[in-house]
Amino acid sequence: MENNQRKLGLITAINMVVGVLIGSGIFFKADDILRSAQGNIFNSLIVFLIGAFCVIFSALSISYIARHTKSDNGVIDYYDRFLSKDMGGAMSYFYFYVYFPTVTAVIAWVCGVFLVALLGIPSSFELEMLVGLCTLILLFLVNSKSILVGGFIQNVTTFIKLIPLVVIPLFALKIGSSAIVSMSQTETASTGQFAFLAALAPIAFSFDGWIIATTITGKIKNPNRNIPLALTIGPLFVLLVYVLYFLGMIKLVGPEAILTSSDGGAGLAGQAIWGNAGEFILQVFIFISVLGVLNGLVLGYTQLPAALNERKLLPFADKFSKRPSLIVFIISIFWMAIHYITHHYGLLGNSDISEISIVFGYTAYILLHLKSISLRSKNEITSNFYGYIFPTLAILGSVIILIGGILSNPVYVPIFIAFCAAVSYAGYAKSKSLI
């Protein structure tokens, strides 16, 4: 049985990265990015590149650590081995109680948003949350039965979600300039000097997910080779797809239409390509895309209880160690309730609980990047790229994302980051007490 559980290869690892990155951000946050740049296409592309810069160099820096860590628990074990057991406990708490469930809760809701739109049902926030909850329950049931089934779903949805991301740029090249507002008009739109940096929070959301692949390291064949490759190839591929898709959307429907239609821009692109049926076709692809994101999150999240159980940090271990999907489901439901409250009452403005936890996650990566620099100074890392260049650029990227997150919501982002830090400290203290 154990052998069957360890047969996921490089393609699945790459699909895990690509599958979680693509599907939520590009369809759900493109209008937020353009709005933060005040319709300026050039600034929007700059922010895309900054986001990719942050992710790619973080992935390259951490890929060395991944390559030299024989573990089954991904990023948590990196803190464990390269910093301390206590820091591993701190990050265990953060990922288990905050990062995974907040992102999962928001993506489950997004699934509900697009499924309700696809079915043509009169929409309400409550209905979207209910549909999202039902989708989440289904995926938890599937992934709790077999990781191989979850991996198969990931491969299929990743392939399907690439279809609209390839079709739209290709048709944009064929149709040419048919946008409602020309690119030249929008590029000259006035923007504040630093206003576009606020787009870094949704950009961080759009590019996040690569680290989730590390949680299934123990289920990947030859992880020392395949995980670093996946962490490098995945983000580079996503950057290419994002830029082509974004420019294709601009050419087909125009930036003003993207801004005014909010999350409906892809549907307008479908109409431009295939007429009235095109909107429905694109909505099908988008729902499958977001479903793939949610499946990847559930697939990764259900592996975390084992990491906590090994450290004796799993709550009610006697009840949940043999049913790990149950406790992660309960925590996800709790954060869905928090998301409902914050969104319903507009407590976080244009942000959401997932963006803020992602910003904290990038801030925490700085500790790993600093450790890589330290190892290079001791000649334990022999490569200047992996020891100096990649970690330094990754630290710069993390700082940029932190600044962008604070700019996007100066009041609540610092408060939530402090909350994340408090949760991490609780894990640190609990781990230290067990020594």
Per-residue pLDDT band at 127 (split at 50, 70, 90): very high
Q: What is the pLDDT of residue 186?
A: 42
User: For 380-390, how does the pLDDT look when each residue is reduced to its tens digit (9 = 90+)?
Assistant: 888 898 899 99
Q: Where are the alpha helices (DSSP H) in 210-352?
A: 223-253, 255-261, 265-274, 276-301, 304-310, 317-320, 324-344
Q: What is the pLDDT of residue 435?
A: 62
Of 217 and 177, the structure prediction assigns the larger pLDDT to: 217
User: For 325-369, how does the pLDDT look when each residue is reduced to its tens digit (9 = 90+)?
Assistant: 888 999 999 999 999 998 888 877 767 888 778 889 989 999 999
Name the token pair of 410.
């100066």
d(CA 272, CA 293): 26
Under 8 Å between Cβ of 182 and 389: no
Which of 386, 400, 399 lies closest to 63 in space, CA to CA?
Answer: 386
How much of the chain exceeds pLDDT 90, in percent? 21
> Cα 374 from chain centroid?
28
Q: What is the pLDDT of residue 180?
A: 40
> Long-range contact list for 353-356, CB < 8 A, 24+ apart?
353/102, 353/105, 353/106, 353/416, 354/102, 354/103, 354/105, 354/106, 354/107, 354/205, 355/201, 355/202, 355/204, 355/205, 355/405, 355/408, 356/102, 356/405, 356/409, 356/412, 356/413, 356/416, 356/417, 356/420
Q: What is the pLDDT of residue 196?
A: 60
User: For 189-211, how does the pLDDT look when each residue is reduced to its tens digit (9 = 90+)?
Assistant: 344 555 566 666 666 666 766 77
Hey, which residues does 220 pair with through a beta bridge? 8
Mean pLDDT of 69-79: 74
DSSP letters for 342-408: HHHTTTTTT--HHHHHHHHHHHHHHHHHHHHHHHHHTTSS--HIIIIIHHHHHHHHHHHHHHHHHHH
Could you identify the residue written with the tokens 């990781």? 147
Q: Which amino acid is at 258?
A: I
Q: What is the pLDDT of residue 315?
A: 83
Mean pLDDT of 75-81: 86
Mean pLDDT of 415-422: 92
d(CA 137, CA 148): 18
- State the CB neighbour count (10 A cutoff) for residue 122: 6
d(CA 313, CA 426): 11
Per-residue pLDDT band at 283 (split at 50, 70, 90): confident
d(CA 365, CA 370): 9
* Domains of the chain, each with CATH number or no CATH: 10-177+195-429 (1.20.1740.10)
Most confident of the following: 55-64, 131-140, 186-195, 306-315:
131-140
Hey, which residues does 167 pair with through a beta bridge? none
